[in-house]
Amino acid sequence: MNRTYIAMPFGNKDLNIENIYFTDAFLSSDVVNPVTQAKYTAEEKSALPAADLTAPEEAYIAISSYEPKAVLWFDRESAAKIVSHTDALIVKGNDICTLDGAAVASAM
């Protein structure tokens, strides 16, 4: 089972992002914690609160949006594009976009 964890309660209606979620698949990869700039430790992983979401097996991250109220799932390739992006991102439909509207990644 690919469990899901609340990585960041974002709460930004202007960017249409409610929460950002990581899955077991994502956390078992060589992902870097944006706060420490090092790979997540076992302690950091165990401290993430579990989310009441069922993740598809190929899902790496999820982002919940306000409008429409939805959870968007992203595979490994899209997750890498999202987490490596340095500009602010916004949810538009099934896409994660830059503020000027350029698509960065599309949901599965």
Tally the domains of the chain.
1
Series of mean pLDDT values for 10-residue runs along the chain (108 residues)? 90 95 90 78 90 94 94 95 89 95 96
Q: Give dist(CA 15, CA 8) in Å, integer.
A: 14
22, 48 contact by CB (below 8 A): yes
Domain that holds residue 93: 4-106
Question: Could you identify the residue written with the tokens 């929460």?
Answer: 19
* pLDDT at residue 37, rounded to an integer: 79
Helix (H, G, I), strand (E, B) or coil at 95: strand
Helix (H, G, I), strand (E, B) or coil at 43: helix
